[in-house]
Structure 1
Amino acid sequence: MWGTQQTCGRMELFGQNAKCYVWRKTNTAHHSEHTIPTVKYGGGSIMLWGCFSSAGTGKLVRVDGKMDGAKYRAILEENLLESAKDLRLGRRFTFQQDNDPKHKARATME
C-alpha cells in the first residue's frame, strides 16, 4: 500500500473551468441568464492524506494546519490499518511512502 499527502492549491468549486458558449439575441450579452458568476478572491488550498493499493483506494483525510511528524503519525494510526482492513489486505502488507523527513523520522518508523 502507498501513502501520500498533497496540498491541492486549485480546486474547481464554483462553476466550470472551461469555455462556455451561449446563444443569445443581440444586445443581451450582460443579462443575468447569459452570464456565469466568478469568484473574485484567490481561493485557497487544502492538504489531503490518502492511501491506495492494487486492491483500490483507502481513506482520504483532510489535514488541518501544518503537517508535522506527530500529526503524520496520528493520521497513520487513525487511518492506515482501517484502510488495509477495508481493502482486505490482511495484517501482513507492505506500506510504502516517499522520503519526506516526517516519514523517515525514528518515531514514525517505529
Structure 2
Amino acid sequence: MRSKELSIELRDRIVSRYRSGEGYQKQSAALKVPKNTVASINLRWKKFGTRKTLPGAGRPAKLSNRGRRDLVREVTKNQIVTLRELQSSSVEMGEPPRRTTIAPALHQSGLYGREARRKPLLSKRHMTACIKFANRQTLRP
C-alpha cells in the first residue's frame, strides 16, 4: 500500500544533503525518512535530474486487484455462472461492467470454460455395470 508523497521541500533537502556527500543512513536518521525512500529519491535525481514523482509505466488497469479477486472467487464458488451474471455483480462492486473486460481477467487467472462438471454415473444400473467391469478387470491374469 502506498503512503503519502513527501513534500517538495523535504525532497530538496534530501538531494542537497546527498550532493554535499552525506550518506543514506545519516540522511534518513536526520530527516526521519526511511532509508529506501532516501535512496530512491537520490537515484531518481541522479538518473533523471528531477525530484518530482514520475508517472507509472503502462496503461492503468480497468479492473482493480480487489475486483479481479472478487470475480475469481465468485467463479470458483459457482462454475456455472454466466458472464451476464458476472456483469451485474461487477456493477454492484463498482467495477466496469463490460464482458470484454471480465473475460480476459478471468483468463489471466486460469479460468476459461465456466460450465458444470460432468455428473457422475450414480444410477443403480450404472453402478452395477461399473462393479462388474472392475471385477472382470481384477480377475484377469
User: Is TM (by shorter chain) over 0.5?
Assistant: no
Normalised by the length of structure 2, the TM-score is 0.20
Bigger strand fraction: 1
Q: Which has the larger radius of gyration?
A: 2
Higher relative contact order (CA 8 A, sep 6+): 1
Bigger helix fraction: 2
